[in-house]
Structure 1
Amino acid sequence: MLGAGAVAASLPFADPLFAREAAATRWPTVANFVNGYVERDIVACMVARVGLGQGEADTIAAGTRTFGGRGAVDADTLFRIYSMTKPITGMATVMLIADGLLELDQPLADVLPAFANMQVQRRYDGPITRDNLEPAARPITIRHLLTHTAGLGYTIIQDGPISAAYRANGIVPGKVSNMAIAQEIFGGQPARSLADFADGLAELPLVYQPGTRWSYSVSLDLLGRVIEVVSGQSFDSFLQERIFTPCGMTSTGFRVAHGDVQRFTGNYFLLGGIPVPIDLPQSSVYLDEPAFPFGGAGLVSSAHDYDRFLQMLAGRGVIEGTQVASEAAVALATSDLFPETLAANGGFERNGRRFGFGAGGLVGTGAAAGLFGWFGAAGTVGLVNTNWGLRHTLMTQYMPADAYDVQGDFPLAVARDAARMMQG
């Protein structure tokens, strides 16, 4: 695989048309996948970026930034990556572990004392009353936060009183749109700062006992506050200094500058199968300063930039000679970190397969060993196989993500083409 990547990187791709044709020739299944979705007019655009080892990635792009628009998309087009933010926050956390400023099994309360004596709902999503609460059996740890096993909830997952309490306390992991109807669907008004977010979260009960079950949650958002306290700098500046700048991720951040609106895509919500705009570039919520940097779902990025993050992971912490993270840190972040206290039926499954979980992303097992990454709420994909050096990023914008099987089918398309390369 690394040899194939070196060959791909050496080809004469200075001419854009030649580069597009060459990419489609090397990744024909991916090209058919991308073009098929756009040609059916069910997404406005799609950009795939696929690379091997430390070689230059190929880009396959189709469509325009908005339905009916004229702006063609490419590797530098900006997309809302939502939960693909989580592995970046996870990696930042593990870098602090490597620095000796945190420990994997350190109690969260060592950093944020308000989480010292947590209560847990006896009945999942039941009432928030004394008779439905019990003390946490063990402290929440950094490991629990990284792997969604802390017992924390999520407004997109929970129902009933606990969901209402999250919204009332500003435990909202981001804003999707300025439209009133979108606010009703996706949540309420977020807390004013990461500190307020953490303090409000500590006042609410857990939905599961810590360390027992994988349950998608705001834990990576909370780690943003942990990173602030431990590092002594704002969460967003830490990401910029330690990950974005050394990786060459020049188009990634929690806000879109007005000068970059012409690179920004529209986001659509499918109502009865019809894509309805909920966040268009010129009026996007991402043009405003966010309440705080949302470490679970707040970033905007490009296919080029996210591939740079994956390239750093494929290089085991090194990208083009720059040491971003230690090899040990990358190995830890991309390994199965599930706690030993996990219930037998408490793991993570996707499409009928069980996976491990690392620092904010799934971890492949068996034939998928080496796989690490995660997905975004608007159909995006960011995965790397550190054993093969295979990086694959997909950017598009539609919600809900499971309306189409983009996130399940795209990795299979990449794997099919990669297998053909290996055989060749």
Structure 2
Amino acid sequence: MDFTPLSRFIDRITAWRIPWAEVLVMHRNETVFRYRAGYADLEAKTPIDEDRIIYLYSLTKILTCTAALQLVEKGTILLGDPLSDYLPEFAEMKVRKAQTDDGWATEPAERPITVRDLFAMTAGFSYDLAAPSIKEAVERTNGRLPTREFAKALAKEPLLFEPGTRWNYSLCHDVLAALVEEVDGRRFSAYVHEEITGPLGMRDTGFFLSEAQQSRLVPQYVFNDELGKADHMDGNWYLIGTEFESGGAGLLSTVSDYALFLNTLTNRGTSPEGVRILSAASVDLMRTDHLTDRTRSDYNWAHHAGYGYGLGVRTHVSAAGSGSLSPLGEFGWSGAAGSFAIIDPESQLTVMYAQHLVNNQEPYVHPRLKNIVYSCLK
């Protein structure tokens, strides 16, 4: 394996507009390549170094869906169950039908939201964290907004469409975290630590940082096109409450730490050390395309051409459609600041890519990085 083209690509994008980037490649459970370039702090010209902590943003979603699939394995929940069996606030949902002078006309939903809809982004939710009911709940809880209170607030908002009839990237996985809390009885962060990150030895992955970890949180940037430079942008704008454990975007981690989790999925649920977090059958269900004839046209992101959508992950279904060098069944997801995961059981390949730029250039970077990685394998 010669990963020179991959290091050149990292050098190129960090000389372009991305302050720093790091990639870790694992093959057959061995780290075969790791490279980083650029500055953790542009103003101080501090080179990016190992074990820096980043906001994972939507890379959180893969772990949240893993946690919920564990409950499916235990028989605690089923994908076809109505969500209201567990979270009763979702029993009588309204659906937007037409806009009026006074707002939106709504009608009672004809279909119940199911657990599967949460996994598959077909519940009918939006991604509006400033919705009136959510803002009211933040104020009512004095800025705490525990995860269950978030779900109760979201249930007061009308759905964008009948559950199961369309695909829309939304707050589904944040509600999925609330579902895990409700049926398991532990806070979502405690469940994640005790059932996934702790057993896998992931010491730097969680929803909150210790004082020591805070010192390793790398600055976050947004590129200013008018000035032609990257500016600081502090904080995770998805964290709208001090106790809100966002299943969709709340985790922080390091490249090394999250690679342990991703590689466990590459091994179809069991780590190289023998720690099992999912069965192989559950991993295969996760990476099965769950789009239907009705929902497929909604999943239309250009850089995901040739991919379907599984249980919280993109999944490769057509090489002709994607132009990707990865095999069918390769899966993963990405995060708002540009982090990117490749999970490939067939090739026994795991890739964790990280950066910390919120206007992240994902459509340019991720497909190219993926093809370069596969071209380097022998």
1:263, 1:288 → 2: CA distance?
A: 22
User: 2:121 matched to 1:168?
Assistant: no
Corresponding letter in the other structure for 1:265: V
Task: Classify 1:194/1:262 alpha carbon distance in 2 versus 1 (closer, same or farther; 3 Å).
Answer: closer
TM-score, normalized by length of structure 2?
0.88
Residues 49 and 75, structure 1, Cα contact 8 Å, conserved in 2: no
User: 2:27 matched to 1:52?
Assistant: yes
Task: Give deviations 1:126-173, integer Å, cap 9, x for gaps.
Answer: 4596862122221111111111111101027xxxxxx6436534589x
Residues 179-190 of structure 1: pairs in structure 2 closer than 5 A:
none
Please, which of 275, 287, 291 is the counterpart of residue 334 of structure 1? 287
2:81, 2:138 → 1: CA distance?
A: 24
Q: Which structure has the highest helix share of the two?
A: 1
Q: CA deviation at 1:286?
A: 11
Please, which of 56, 80, 105 is the counterpart of residue 55 of structure 2? 80
Structure 1 gaps of 5+ residues are 1-24, 157-162, 173-188
1:350, 1:90 → 2: CA distance?
A: 24
Greater shift in the superposed pair: 285-294 or 133-142: 285-294
1:332, 1:128 → 2: CA distance?
A: 45
Residues 53 and 314, structure 1, Cα contact 8 Å, conserved in 2: no
1:297, 1:344 → 2: CA distance?
A: 24
Residues 138 and 241, structure 2, Cα contact 8 Å, conserved in 1: no
Corresponding letter in the other structure for 1:278: M
Structure 2 gaps of 5+ residues are 320-326
In structure 2, the residue matched to 1:177 is none
User: 2:291 matched to 1:318?
Assistant: no
User: 2:180 matched to 1:227?
Assistant: yes
Residues 188-267 of structure 1: pairs in structure 2 closer than 5 A:
192-267=145-220
User: 2:123 matched to 1:134?
Assistant: no
2:223, 2:37 → 1: CA distance?
A: 20
Q: CA deviation at 1:289?
A: 8.6
In structure 1, the residue matched to 2:322 is none
Residues 289-304 of structure 1: pairs in structure 2 closer than 5 A:
290-304=242-256
In structure 1, the residue matched to 2:5 is 29
Secondary structure of the corresponding residue to residue 132 of structure 1? strand
User: 2:369 matched to 1:384?
Assistant: no
2:239, 2:155 → 1: CA distance?
A: 30
Task: Classify 1:221/1:285 alpha carbon distance in 2 versus 1 (closer, same or farther; 3 Å).
Answer: closer
Please, which of 305, 311, 319 is the counterpart of residue 359 of structure 1? 311
Residues 228 and 235, structure 1, Cα contact 8 Å, conserved in 2: yes
Secondary structure of the corresponding residue to residue 36 of structure 2? strand
In structure 1, the residue matched to 2:323 is none
User: 2:222 matched to 1:269?
Assistant: yes
In structure 2, the residue matched to 1:16 is none
2:367, 2:101 → 1: CA distance?
A: 37
Percent identity, aligned pairs only, is: 29
Task: Classify 1:238/1:39 alpha carbon distance in 2 versus 1 (closer, same or farther; 3 Å).
Answer: same
Instruction: State the Cα RMSD in Å.
Output: 2.8
TM-score, normalized by length of structure 1?
0.79
Task: Classify 1:215/1:344 alpha carbon distance in 2 versus 1 (closer, same or farther; 3 Å).
Answer: closer
Task: Give deviations 1:75-95, integer Å, cap 9, x for gaps.
Answer: 422111100001110111111
Q: CA deviation at 1:394?
A: 0.8
